[in-house]
Amino acid sequence: MKTLTLLLDKQLKPVFLRIAYGLRHAIQTGKLTANEPLPSARKLAEQLGTNRHTIMAAYQELIAQGWVESIERKGYRVAQSLPIEESNHSLSYHPLVEKAFNWDINTDISESSLDKPAHKYRYNFAGGSPDVSLFPFKDFKSYMNESLSRPNFDDLNYGNNAGNNNFIHQVKTYLRRVRSITDKEIIAVNGSQEAIYLIARLLLKSGDKVAVESLGYQPAWNAFKTTGADLVPIQQHDNGIDIKQLEKVFSTTDIKLLYLTPLHQYPTTVTLPIHERMAIYQLATKYNVAILEDDYDHEFHYDCQPLIPLAAEDPLGLVIYLSTFSKIMFPGGRIGFIAVDKALVPAIMRYRSVMNHKPNVLMQDAIGRWMQDGGFERHLRRMSKRYHQRRDHLIQLLNMYKAQGIALDYDLPAGGMSLWLDIKSHAHELEQVCHENDIYLAAEHHFHLDPTKDENRYVRLGYAGLSSDALTAGLHSLFTLLKEVQSRGY
């Protein structure tokens, strides 16, 4: 017989009624279901530290009300058909039943307006969705099996919180080789979002100012806002953040942190030229601003080798670099990492222990083995090739629609998983109609910090998660809807 945890109201007397109410509440809230056996009076009395007669009286009360039945030689069980609550008067005065609790909830972060997740739409043009169906689950299973066959007991226990040693070693080696990041410490995190929240908690206080790209990543903004910090938007030009405006803001406002997606700007996908990245670093040193560099999908870079991030040349150690396995593997894996100057590590670990000791150690261990064996980079090469083909297919289709007279423009994204498409007008309306027709798409208004800057002409088209056939069919539906929306002019 399972142990019952009852909600008992100490104010309620006599005791048998208190227990009867606790049992009834367990039935009403689904903890006990129709026909479920109940503990014997003796067992429940032992559990609750009372005597058998009190329990029998409680059961009798509930039998009288129709919540419980007594079956000969089998004992008590929850009634097969439960009474309608309104017909029961004897216990309904209890305050918990009469009114709902009034939650006073902080409303400092923006709500999502989606009624279902993007991947549930027939065509999902969400910008950051990888094609999870192409993940080599069979290969990866062997690394998971190894992790379970030869568990690392240091990891399985509390402590060792920065991450699995081999995972950290593999990430460091990889970053040194492909990103030229040589002098940072690695901390494993549950995806970049946790890292952004962690860094926000660590560095920001109420009233601090965070400079962000004026078009950007709302989940990061939300994390900053939870600390009470204010966001300062910096305008963008064709290649990313506007350095002149950044300098003006740095020189006139006390900025604590700059959050940046320089390699593939989110959401426009453009790459900030190297001399501008260097200029930003100079400004950050001059005005003593820390930089949070979010490198979320730079593994997928098609037209040249992946570029070197700001974190690679950071003699002052002011750049905190983030990356994630969400795009390379799948977002549900929840593994990412922070590459940070060693001076910050103890403070980050202290803050992390407040919310979460460490990410899932089996996943870290398996990824470490996968990286060590070369499987990770093989997968990366395969996926880069596939996403590159999808990007090119998308471009072909867009050019075809353009040739048919649809007004559209775009800059060829050098990498990543999405394209920033200028459809000239009705972006918001197109998004709405697409959602109604089972197509997921995000228009520019989702990405503006200042809503008055919305020109209602750009949409973010994710292509990585769609096969060539799905891209062809999805775009056909999308442009049919666009023509309708624009001709109706609403």
Give the binding site for ligand PLP (CB under 6 A). 128, 191-193, 217, 261, 266, 294, 296, 324, 326, 331, 336
CA distance 113 to 117: 10
**Closest separation between CB of residue 152 and ligand PLP, Å?**
24
Name which of 54 and 269 has its Cβ closer to ligand PLP: 269
For ligand PLP, the closer of residues 140 and 266 by Cβ is 266
Token pair belonging to 473: 């069919």
Q: Taking the complex as a whole, how short is the minimal distance between the CB of residue 130 and ligand PLP, in angstroms?
A: 10
Angle at 351 between CA 346 and CA 355, to 5 degrees: 140
Tracing tokens 């998971």 back to the chain, one arrives at 144
The Cα 424–Cα 457 span in angstroms is 4
- Minimal distance, residue 197 CB to ligand PLP, in Å: 10
Q: How far is CA 479 from CA 228, 335, 400, 444, 487, in A?
A: 42, 36, 11, 17, 12
Burial class, 488, CB count within 10 angstroms (exposed 0-12 / middle 13-18 / buried 19+): exposed
Residue 457 main-chain phi, psi, to 5 deg = -130, -10
Comparison of 41 and 383: residue with beta carbon closer to ligand PLP: 383
Nearer to ligand PLP, 327 or 457 (CB): 327
Nearest approach, Cβ of residue 180 and ligand PLP (Å): 21
| Spatial separation of the C-alpha atoms in residues 21 and 117, rounded to whole Å | 40
For ligand PLP, the closer of residues 188 and 481 by Cβ is 188
DSSP label at residue 473: H
Q: How far apart are CA 57 and CA 60, in angstroms?
A: 5
Nearer to ligand PLP, 59 or 296 (CB): 296
What are phi and psi for residue 313, nearest 5 degrees? -125, 85
Least Cβ distance, residue 302 to ligand PLP (angstroms)? 18
Q: How far is the CB of 198 from ligand PLP (least distance, A)?
A: 12
Closest to ligand PLP by CB, 39 vs 127, is 127
State whether residue 423 is helix, strand or coil: coil
What gap in Å lies between CA 416 and CA 261, rounded to an integer? 12
SS3 83: coil
CB of 16 or CB of 458, closer to ligand PLP: 458
User: Residue 359 or 368: which CB sits closer to ligand PLP?
Assistant: 359
Neighbouring residues of 22: CB distance < 8 A, sequence distance ≥ 6: 6, 7, 8, 9
* 337 neighbors 163 (Cβ within 8 angstroms): yes
Closest contact distance (angstroms) between CB of 202 and ligand PLP is: 17
User: How far, CA to CA in Å, does 316 sit from each of 283, 285, 288, 310, 319?
Assistant: 13, 8, 10, 12, 8
Residue 207 — left, alpha, or beta (φ > 0 → left; ψ -120 to 50 → alpha)?
A: left
Q: How far is the CB of 294 from ligand PLP (least distance, A)?
A: 5
Which DSSP helix (H) or strand (E) runs through 175? helix 165-179
Beta carbon nearer to ligand PLP, 189 or 433:
189
Nearest distance from C-beta of residue 185 to ligand PLP, angstroms: 19
Residue position matching structure tokens 């559990």: 47
Output the smallest distance, CB 330 to ligand PLP, in A. 9
Write down the least CB distance from residue 195 to ligand PLP, Å: 8
Q: Are 106 and 422 in contact (CB under 8 A)?
A: no
Of 370 and 479, the one with the shorter C-beta distance to ligand PLP is: 370
